Each structure stands twice: as structure tokens, then as C-alpha cells.
Structure 1
Amino acid sequence: MKSYTQKNAPIYEALEEFRARRVVPFDVPGHKRGRGNPELVELLGQKCVGLDVNSMKPLDNLCHPVSVIRAAEELAAEAFGAAHAFLMVGGTTSSVQAMILSVCGRNDKIILPRNVHRSVINAMILCGAHPVYVNPEVDERLGIPLGMRMEQVDKAIRENPDARAVLVNNPTYYGICSNLPEIVKLAHAHGMKVLADEAHGTHLYFGENLPISAMAAGADLAAVSMHKSGGSLTQSSLLLAGPSMSEGHIRQMINLTQTTSGSYLLMASLDISRRNLALRGREDFARVVDLAEYARKEINEIGGYDAYSRELINGDSVFDFDVTKLSIYTYGIGLAGIEVYDLLRDEYDIQTEFGDLGNLLAYVSIGDRKQEIERLVGALAEVKRRFQKKGTWMQVPEYLSPHVVVTPRDAFYALKESLPIAETKGRVCSEFVMCYPPGIPILAPGEEITEDILKYIEYAREKGCSLTGSEDPDVQRLNVVNENTLDWM
């Protein structure tokens, strides 16, 4: 195989060579380099559509890479400090699922925080793993879940010595980091693997003075959303593995669910973005940090908002904080985060990442400039002046401790019945309910529906949160496990 360095982008270079040959296509895709779909060419451009090709010998095959895709994966592993890297075209959802499928089977235990993305619970439905939740502390003022305390992780490991793995968010959506290096040491000492959901942590591998990355901390697997802070196209991701993991085994798990028709546009975007980060990542993310810190300072000077940062660090449940996350507490102006989110979009044409009941997240990354930051700050000042409210409302924490009755898999596939949501108290849920984004479930399959959860769902609905995950799109009814079924579970 040809020798490459971090200055190369093997997949992109192979695509350019292929395009120059003007090969006549008698294979898929059926648009035949755009000739069959001129509207698509008008939308995306001839070069883009012309590179939307199928797997073939000169371009390698994602399911069993031996040439340019393999070279791109080896360069990614080198750039991220991993033993192996896998290009993923099903988003970080597919990375998370492959990560969990690689270590867990039916009835295997996995220790994890409850504030995980729905993809983690989906993976447990697929493989039949049993969750052992470490309930994170909640910052009572901000209403957000924090990281896992070491005492909690130690207790979970000692009470479940047969658990196969510990999963850690690194960082959370809000920028909170657990003590990953110590969790790795503790888990490995008990023969358990450590998995990291790094959907929001690409920059940790290239920035300076940021929280430690999963591979640097010694984790065994990490799912990394390159499209979030790394600059690649939406739906492209990486799965990283440490030296303890079998490359062939992971590839088999990936191929259980990932498409056999991998998009070369997504793979090329991963290839180019890895090259950009390897060559310029430190410089780029230093600028991102400066922009985020500038925004934080300006927003806090408005008054009423709290753009929080490293002052939350307590050495345990907030072991570190990712300062690129511009998380803003909005309660001080009398508005829910989702209300500010809607106002920014509808009144000022500013699209932030998400708003929950008390917080707003503005995602700052390599494509941002100071003028956009200033526009955001100005709009937030205007929102306060025009829309702030006096008084308070019922403060409901973002995290509600679950009571797991049966495994997610058993609940999901059980006989079920649909009930009006008001009649579901005390029943076992067989589907998801979540505010999206961020996609952290309020309810997941196998969990008891409590009065507090029902109040939270209604409050989130009143404030304008987008509720998703249930079969009923309006979340007026919920699927619950048939009570007779519970007797044999």
C-alpha cells in the first residue's frame, strides 16, 4: 500500500484521480454522476454529485478496507492517538452502538450515567445488556446533571463485579467532564472496559488546556462526532479503539448495523477534516477557546444570564469543564432556555444548538468568527430588554432519577398497550420520551413512570420543548408494558 503522511487525504485523492479518468458508470448510484437528476446537480453542484460513487477496487470498500480507506483510518488513528480508527457514516449513533455491541452481549451489565444519549439505550436494546445506572448529582441552580462521582463509580463496580464495561460522557452536552483517568484506572483494575461517548469531544484531541481525551486517558473505545466540532459533513463520525481491543472484532460489530453502501462524500469529508485538524487543529481550537471566552465575558456583563465555566469545577462530579461549550443559564431573566432558543431563531435569525428548561447552548467551533459572536451577544441583550419576565416558575431539574424495572430490550419487545399519558403513573414504559435536542431520555424502555416524570413532561411541553421518541408524535399517549407480561420477565 502507498505510503501516506498527515498531509495526505487518501480517499479524497483517490476520488480526484477517479474523477479525472471520466469512467463510464454502469453501476449505482442511478443518477449516473448527476445526469439523471439535474435538480440534484443544481442543489449540490456537479463536482459534489460526480463524487457520489459506489465502492469499487480503486476506491476500496468500507466493510473490508484494504487500500485508501484503510490508509485513511490508519492516519486517523495516528492523529487521535488511538491504536485503531474506523470511519463511520451512520453518525455517532452508529459509533456508540458498535462500541457497546463490541463489549456487551445479552444480560451483560454495563455501568453508565443515566444522562446518556438515546443511542446508548438503543444499543442496549439491540444487544440485551442490563444497565447499572450511576445517578449523577444535579446542580440545583442550573438544573443540569453533572458527572459521575468516583465514590459512586467505585460503589457500582464493587456491587457489580461481573459488569463488562463502564461508559462515560466526555464531555456532556453542557461541557461537564468526569474524572476519566481515575475511572479508567478503577475499571481496568476490576477487568472492565471503559467506553467514552465523545460526541462533543473531537477538539479535546487537538486543543491545549482542555479536558483530557478518552484515548489519552487510556479508555478502550471512544465514539467521536467529527461533524460536530471537527468540521466534517453531518452524519460522519469516528470510532476509536485502544490497544486492548481487537480490530477485527470491532469491524464485525460495525458491519452488523452500518450500511454496505458507504457514502464517499462522508468518508472524504472525514479524511479532509482529519488532515485539517492534524495540521492546524491546535491553532484553530485555540481561536475557538478565545471566541467562547470572549462571548462568555460579554454575555455575563449583560446581567441576568450566567454563561458558566470552570468555576463549576469541584474535583469530582465536575472534574473538568470544556470551555468551548457556551452554556448559558437563562433563569435570571425569567425565561426558560427553550424560550430564549425560540426567540433567537424567530426574532433574530440566530440558530443555537438547543434550549432546555433552564439553559441554552450556543455551539462555538472552527467555522465561527467574532462578528457572529457579537451578533449573538447583541441579540441576547435585546431578548433581555424586550422579553424578560418578573417572578419565578416551578423549577424542575433536567435530570430525574430512573427506576429500572426490566432491561430496555425486554421492555421494548414486550407485549404492550397504549394509554393516555395521564393514566400511565406506576406503569413500566416501553418506549422513549425525550426533549430533542439534546436527546437525553426523560423516560426509556424498562423504567417506571412516576408522578415527577409526568409533571416534567407536561412542564416541558408548556415551555415549548420538542418532545420526541414516542409512537404517538404528540406524546398524548404512551406505550407501557402489559402488566401480565411482567410476571415472566
Structure 2
Amino acid sequence: MTGQERAPLLEALNRFKDMRIVPFDVPGHKRGRGNPELREFLGEKCLTVDVNSMKPLDNLCHPSSVIRDAEELAADAFGAHHAFFMVNGTTSAVQSMVMSACKKGEKIIMPRNVHRSAISALILCGAVPVYVNPGIDRRLGISLGMSLGDVKRAIEENPDAKAVFVNNPTYYGICSDLKSIVKLAHEHNMLVLADEAHGAHFYFGEGLPVSAMAAGADLAAVSMHKSGGSLTQSSLLLTGPAVDESYVDQIINLTQTTSASYLLMSSLDVSRRYLALRGVETFRRVIAMAEYLRAEINRIGGYYAFSRELINGESVFDFDVTKLSVHTLDIGLAGIEVYDLLRDEYDIQIELGDIGNILAYISMGDRSLDAERLVAALSEIKRRYERDKSGLLTQEYIRPQVVERPQKAFYAEKEPVPVEQSAGRISGESVMCYPPGIPVIAPGERITPEIVEYILYADEKGAMLTGMRDASLKTIQVLKEG
């Protein structure tokens, strides 16, 4: 990599600070002077670079100087043809790549266990999903990746599809055979889009699954703020050489803010430089910590911290060993119950708890002392709270019954019905536990008794259910009949 020691946007912001410019522009806090409470909370250093787009600092809507230079360095570091800085989160990056690939009525092949942002993209642009049901690990109750055979079948049955969408990896670290999917899709003139919300480290670590750009994907949405170390809400949208980046730029500007945060953009610039120069050694430590924690948690007994032993060459083609996913049902506790106990009783905040598992996100900022604290807490939770596991739900992924395309269902006439009485009706909204934000039901899908049971059970266990118009979670919006 050439020039990766530079951070053009950071350098420009430092020059700007030295100029002592009098601000008669926005933001209105005027470098923090207008809001002492905000300055005290965030600090003067932070607020002096919370500035507006101006000539010396470039403009994210049409980069031509320092932002352009920073994006070029990011593209080089990630092995992409072009990199777009995204400040509306990876949600915006996912939506932009779907809308860049598909127009209204065009098909896109995707796994059903996509993030809500992908379903929202279908609602926004009117594309039609061709769902490939992921594999399921029935013991763990989690969805896996797409097998190459299932993708091949979907392509052959839908030769007019415009793109194939792949999770790389899933929240739990599961990877599909991305290289082979790319080869197959390109042979049928389809683009490949990768949701790499949880895969920024693939570009810099050793012994990790293949990154989207290395596999030849056309577009990839990368959450730098997750494993990449930048500020929350900052992300990258990477493109390959076959993509018209000027068109992607137009799509991005349909929804991305015209008041891009320089705090977010500079964090992308600084984090890219850090990963390019120190990423290999950084993620070597992350992997070592995750492997240590996995071994220690499995030594407790009752828990199952799973890893590469799940690889089967099909629905689990590879596994991201930085993901510390732990199955909890064998100690008689749902994952969300262990999640709550860790936070409420031990002051430990993990990433998620679902019906059967927890996920602790291991990254560059974790310390050995904190790792030991997590192991000790899990051991004590088992000792204090272990019970018989009968009566616990085990199934996380429920195969959907698609009746109507998402956009049409979302904008159709709807009415609220009690969740308990909704089986058989067509959903007009999404319902999901967040995190991970994967809809258990999406607009246009038939609500089944299993889905009703899942929603009621998740609510009872204390999961954070989102997507429903009714904040009390008592009713769900369904399409009007007749």
C-alpha cells in the first residue's frame, strides 16, 4: 500500500483549526462557544472540528480535494476500485448498493436472514426479493449461510435477476462460499453485493475469511465503526471495477445527508490509516483473545462457545473466529436472559442476546482484565441461575411465506390486529429483535403460528422488539382483506 501513513482529511482539519477562522456559518454552536453544556460534555477539541462543508474541507456530496484523497486511500487499503465515505451508517450503505443494482420490479437473490436495511431497500426501490433460505443449525437455533447449490438453483430459476446479495459474515460469524458465488453470479451477468457490516477486519487480519473485494464482489457495505474502530454511524461503501461509481454516487446522494459530520468522516480517515499500518498485528491480538475466551467459557461447562468446527463446506463455508458467540440453552437460560444478567448484575454489556445465544463483540479495544471478568461472570451465572431447560424455545430462524413484494405490502392499506390473533394474515410491517435486526416477519409475508409464538416469547423474555407501529407491541399491522 502506498501513502497509507497519510490522513488527508485529518490533516486538513488540523490546518483549519490553526487558522482561527471566525465562524459565520453553521453549526450554530460556533465551535462550542454557544452551548457551554455541550462543550463541557464533549470537550472543546471535539467541537472545534464539528464544522460545515467549506472549500478547504471539501464536500462529501461531490468530493474534489481532501475527502476525495481520503476515499482514494481507503479504496487502496481495502483493495477496492472506489470507496465512498458514508455517514448515515451501514444501513445507508446497504440501501445504496441495493438501489444501485436494482430498479422497481427487478429481482435480487438474497438470503432471508438479511439485516432490516436490506428489506428497507426493497421497500424504497421496489425490487423483488428471491429468497434463498439459509441453512439452519437446529441445536444452536441460528441461521447459517447460503449453500452454493441453493444459490445456483435460484439463479437458474431466475435468470433475469440483477444481483445476488450475500452476508459476509452473519452476525454470528458464519460465511458462505463467497468466491464461488461471485464466479457463478458473474457467469450469469449478475452483480454481487456483500453486507460486510461485521467484516471490516477481514481486509487486514490473517487467517480470516475472504473479504468481499478479494473475492471479486461488485459492492460491499463495510461497518468501520464495528470492528474497524471508527465512530458509530461511520461506514464505507466499496465498489469493484465493473460498477459505474458515478451512478452509485447519485444513488447515495438521494438519501445521505448534505451536512456530513466531519467527526465521522475524520474518524474513517484515521481508522483507515491505523488499520492499514497496524491492522495485521491488531487483529492477531483480537483473534488470540477470542480464542482464549472461547476455550475458557467452554471449560466452565454448560455453555457452548462455537467456532470453526461448524464448517461443513456448504452452509458454513468459513467462520470468523473473532466472533465470540455462546449457546446458553443448556444451562436453562435464554440468551437474552444471560444478556440481562451480565448487564444488571455484573455491569458487563455484551452485543446481543437472542433466544438461545449471546454474542460478545471482541475488538481492538478489549483488555485481558475485562476478558477474565466476563469468564468469571458467566461461571457465576451458571452456578447461581442454572435450571432445567424444558419449555425454552430453540428455533431462531423461521422460513417465510412470501405472498406480496415488500414495497407493495408496506404501502398497502393496513389495519392493526392483536398479535395473538394475527396468524394467517399478511404482515404490513417488519418485526425484529434488535440487535441483530434481522426481521422475523417482513412486509408481504404471511404470519404463521410459529411467528406469533416467537414474537410473544421474545417479548416475554425481554428482547428488544422493533419495527412495529404499536409501541406497546400488542398489535401488528396487517393488510386489509377484501
Instruction: Give TM-score scaled by structure 1 length.
Output: 0.98
Structure 2: where are the runs of 5+ without partners? none
Q: Which amino acid aligns with 1:15?
A: L
Tell me which of 6, 9, 13 is aligned to 1:8. Answer: 6
Aligned-residue CA RMSD in angstroms?
Answer: 0.8
The whole-number CA distance in structure 1 between the counterparts of 2:185 and 2:337 is 41
Identity %: 68
Relative to structure 2, which stretch is displaced further, 386-395 or 154-163?
Answer: 386-395
Q: Which amino acid aligns with 1:297?
A: A
Q: Secondary structure at the match of 1:39?
A: helix
Q: Deviations over 1:366-411 (max 9, x none)?
A: 0011111111001000100111112422433110000111111000
Q: Answer yes or no: is 1:59 the counterpart of 2:57.
A: yes
The whole-number CA distance in structure 2 between the counterparts of 1:313 and 1:137 is 12
The whole-number CA distance in structure 2 between the counterparts of 1:9 and 1:477 is 50
The whole-number CA distance in structure 2 between the counterparts of 1:243 and 1:376 is 44
| Count of residue pairs the alignment pairs up | 481
Q: Secondary structure at the match of 1:360?
A: strand
The whole-number CA distance in structure 2 between the counterparts of 1:431 and 1:462 is 21
Q: Per-residue deviation at 1:451?
A: 0.8
Alignment of 1:39-58 (within 5 A): 39-58=37-56
The whole-number CA distance in structure 2 between the counterparts of 1:42 and 1:270 is 25
Do the aligned residues in 2 keep the contact of 1:396 with 1:456 (CA within 8 Å)?
no
Aligned to 1:224: 222
Do the aligned residues in 1 keep the contact of 2:346 with 2:377 (CA within 8 Å)?
yes
Q: Per-residue deviation at 1:424?
A: 1.5
Aligned to 2:279: 281
Q: Deviations over 1:395-431 (max 9, x none)?
A: 3311000011111100011111111112211111011
Q: Answer yes or no: is 1:425 the counterpart of 2:423.
A: yes
The whole-number CA distance in structure 1 between the counterparts of 2:436 and 2:368 is 26
Do the aligned residues in 2 keep the contact of 1:412 with 1:446 (CA within 8 Å)?
yes
Aligned to 1:487: none
The whole-number CA distance in structure 1 between the counterparts of 2:391 and 2:343 is 23
Aligned to 1:213: 211
Alignment of 1:303-342 (within 5 A): 303-342=301-340
Q: Which amino acid aligns with 2:308?
A: R
Q: Secondary structure at the match of 1:87?
A: strand
The whole-number CA distance in structure 2 between the counterparts of 1:414 and 1:36 is 46
Do the aligned residues in 1 keep the contact of 2:225 with 2:232 (CA within 8 Å)?
yes
Do the aligned residues in 1 keep the contact of 2:331 with 2:389 (CA within 8 Å)?
no
Q: Deviations over 1:303-358 (max 9, x none)?
A: 00000000000011000000000000001111000000000000000000000000
Relative to structure 2, which stretch is displaced further, 422-431 or 340-349?
Answer: 422-431
Do the aligned residues in 2 keep the contact of 1:340 with 1:355 (CA within 8 Å)?
yes
Do the aligned residues in 2 keep the contact of 1:138 with 1:397 (CA within 8 Å)?
no
Do the aligned residues in 2 keep the contact of 1:356 with 1:465 (CA within 8 Å)?
yes
Structure 1: where are the runs of 5+ without partners? 485-489
Alignment of 1:158-197 (within 5 A): 158-197=156-195
After superposing on structure 2, the runs of 4+ consecutive aligned residues of structure 1 that deviate more than 6 Å are: none
Q: Answer yes or no: is 1:396 the counterpart of 2:394.
A: yes
Q: Deviations over 1:431-488 (max 9, x none)?
A: 111111110001111110111110111111121111111000121101111123xxxx
The whole-number CA distance in structure 2 between the counterparts of 1:270 and 1:166 is 28
Aligned to 2:441: 443
Tell me which of 245, 257, 260 is aligned to 1:259. Answer: 257
Q: Per-residue deviation at 1:133?
A: 0.3
Q: Deviations over 1:212-258 (max 9, x none)?
A: 00000000000000000000000000000000001101100000000
Do the aligned residues in 1 keep the contact of 2:197 with 2:226 (CA within 8 Å)?
yes
The whole-number CA distance in structure 1 between the counterparts of 2:36 and 2:64 is 34
The whole-number CA distance in structure 2 between the counterparts of 1:247 and 1:177 is 27
Tell me which of 237, 247, 250 is aligned to 2:248. Answer: 250
Do the aligned residues in 1 keep the contact of 2:138 with 2:394 (CA within 8 Å)?
no
The whole-number CA distance in structure 2 between the counterparts of 1:247 and 1:129 is 20
Instruction: Give TM-score scaled by structure 2 length.
Output: 0.99
Relative to structure 2, which stretch is displaced further, 423-432 or 272-281?
Answer: 423-432
Alignment of 1:349-364 (within 5 A): 349-364=347-362
Q: Deviations over 1:130-166 (max 9, x none)?
A: 0000001210100000100111101100000000000
Q: Which amino acid aligns with 2:478?
A: V
The whole-number CA distance in structure 2 between the counterparts of 1:478 and 1:393 is 25
